[in-house]
A = this chain, B = another copy of it.
Amino acid sequence: MKPTGPLPPEFAGQRGMLTIAGQRADDLLAAYGSPLFVYDAAIMAARVARFRAAMPPALDLHFAVKANPYPPVVAAMAALVDGLDVASAGELDKALSAKPAAAISFAGPGKRDHELDAAIRAGATLNVESEGEARRALAIAERHGVTPRLAVRVNPDLELRGSGMKMGGRASPFGVDAERVPALVRAIVAGGGDWRGFHIFAGSQALDAGALIETQAATLALAARLAEEAGMAPPLVNLGGGFGIPHFAGDRPLDIELIGDALATALDRRAAVLSDSRFAIELGRWLVGEAGVYLTRVVDRKQSRGDTFLVTDGGLHHQLAASGNFGTVVRRNYPIAAATRMGEPGTEEVSVVGCLCTPLDRLGDHVLLPEVEEGGIIAVFIAGAYGLTASPSAFLGHSAPNELLLHTH
């Protein structure tokens, strides 16, 4: 038997049929087909409220659209947060339908001219990733006769300890090495750009509050040093995100109240050059990850050499990360449950597999569940972020699942 990750708190106490935003899993599948992604707007709103309560009042909250670009989710989040961060022209289009351009920033390496063009014409902020990209952006803006809003993404000389994905402190395709940033800021202003500040992202999916506190303090110090060297105060400092959520057995939730207290202190004591700056935290997974559940029906229940397999109509083509094939070296089980028998003790060890003809397609490996018959429903949790769009949905030619955002009535 292998352990599974902890269920998000809104689902951990449920008994009997799983409900999402008050609706029964079986009714949802009957109405919308299987497999199905269901997102609960109230859980997203609760995460935003918790963030607001924990963090200093002046701090802005941005939603990273890439975590879940389902248009109703983007619209719901846009109503709750101060800004949307996008990573492509496609995401920019979605964001522009939900939020004014002034509240949208666009980061990501390899922005093509047509993407720079779209952001500049819309009036969104471009987080430039290199000197070359800044030059291209200024040239495009000049052709349009407009002033581009340009922030500088910084490749910091610091690293987020305990980060699931390290994105700073080393040679990186992201951002401009900190030591070259002041010169770039001056070049942007000299070139006619409206310099919007810094974007400093040191890592993601961290569960260690101490590491995040340390990184945020170092990020503030770095922003102050770069501003002083540039001789200009940044209108906004995007401090990055990196707030993780528990995925696997043994993971503990992040103590964001501790982070908020430390950040309040750090902001109170910030250097004079940052006194008029705004600050933002950019989150994706932490805001929406736990709000999503992937429901899939058991098509076949079979025995092989002493093992029991529940073969579902879902799989890694929808939930690649849960299969352990995206960004993880060792496969571990996501939180998974028998949706029809929540709260019942596990009575048999089964492997839950998908319908793809590859041994990689495993949603739960030797997990302990109550008995689930053919036609039963399996729920894989933490499906609200990096789920469907981060999976090879065309693999093996299965039809796309529905997605659904539920508001509690």
Q: Chain B residues near A89: list those with CB within 8 A.
A: 397-399
Residues 358-399 of A, flagged 1 when their CB comes within 8 A of B and 0 if not, give 111000000000000010000000000000111111111111
Known: A110-B313, A171-B304. A359 touches B166 (CB 8 A): yes
The CA-CA distance from A326 to B324 in the complex, in Å, is: 9
Tell whether A147 is near chain B: CB-to-CB under 8 Å.
no
A113 and chain B: residue at smallest CB distance: B299
Tell whether A247 is near chain B: CB-to-CB under 8 Å.
no
Which of B132, B327, B359 makes the CB contact (< 8 A) with A300?
A: B132
Q: Chain B residues near A388: list those with CB within 8 A.
A: 394
In the complex, are the beta carbons of B173 and A90 less than 8 A apart? no
Q: Chain B residues near A329: list those with CB within 8 A.
A: 329
Within 8 A of B (CB), among A155-186: 155, 165-167, 170-174, 177
Tell whether A17 is near chain B: CB-to-CB under 8 Å.
no
| Shortest distance between the CB of A95 and any CB in chain B (Å) | 10
Tell whether A312 is near chain B: CB-to-CB under 8 Å.
yes
| Shortest distance between the CB of A152 and any CB in chain B (Å) | 13
In the complex, are the beta carbons of B396 and A87 less than 8 A apart? yes
Q: Chain B residues near A65: list those with CB within 8 A.
A: 397
Known: A304-B155, A397-B66. A359 touches B167 (CB 8 A): yes
A296 and chain B: residue at smallest CB distance: B110
The CA-CA distance from A18 to B303 in the complex, in Å, is: 51
Tell whether A266 is near chain B: CB-to-CB under 8 Å.
no
A86 and chain B: residue at smallest CB distance: B397
Selected interface stretch from A42-50, A270-278, A347-355: A347-355
The CA-CA distance from A167 to B359 in the complex, in Å, is: 7
Residues 55-92 of A, flagged 1 when their CB comes within 8 A of B and 0 if not, give 00000000001100100000000000000001111110
In the complex, are the beta carbons of A312 and B110 less than 8 A apart? yes
In the complex, are the beta carbons of B306 and A398 less than 8 A apart? no
In the complex, are the beta carbons of B396 and A66 less than 8 A apart? yes
Tell whether A245 is near chain B: CB-to-CB under 8 Å.
no
Which of B69, B110, B307, B357 makes the CB contact (< 8 A) with A174?
A: B357
| Shortest distance between the CB of A14 and any CB in chain B (Å) | 26
| Residue of A166, A329, A391, A395 with highest tally of chain B CB at under 10 A | A395
A109 and chain B: residue at smallest CB distance: B311
In the complex, are the beta carbons of B392 and A302 less than 8 A apart? no
Which of B172, B303, B325, B394 makes the CB contact (< 8 A) with A327?
A: B325
Tell whether A195 is near chain B: CB-to-CB under 8 Å.
no
Tell whether A341 is near chain B: CB-to-CB under 8 Å.
no
In the complex, are the beta carbons of B397 and A177 less than 8 A apart? no
The CA-CA distance from A86 to B174 in the complex, in Å, is: 41
Tell whether A228 is near chain B: CB-to-CB under 8 Å.
no
Q: Sample 6 A-B pairs with CB under 8 A, ordered by A number.
A: A89-B397, A109-B311, A130-B302, A155-B305, A171-B307, A173-B351
Given contacts A131-B302, A166-B359, A393-B394, 9 further A-B contacts (CB under 8 A): A87-B397, A90-B398, A111-B299, A129-B311, A130-B302, A171-B307, A171-B309, A174-B359, A392-B392
Closest 10 CB pairs of A and B: A90-B397, A110-B355, A171-B307, A110-B311, A171-B305, A91-B397, A389-B394, A130-B302, A110-B299, A108-B357
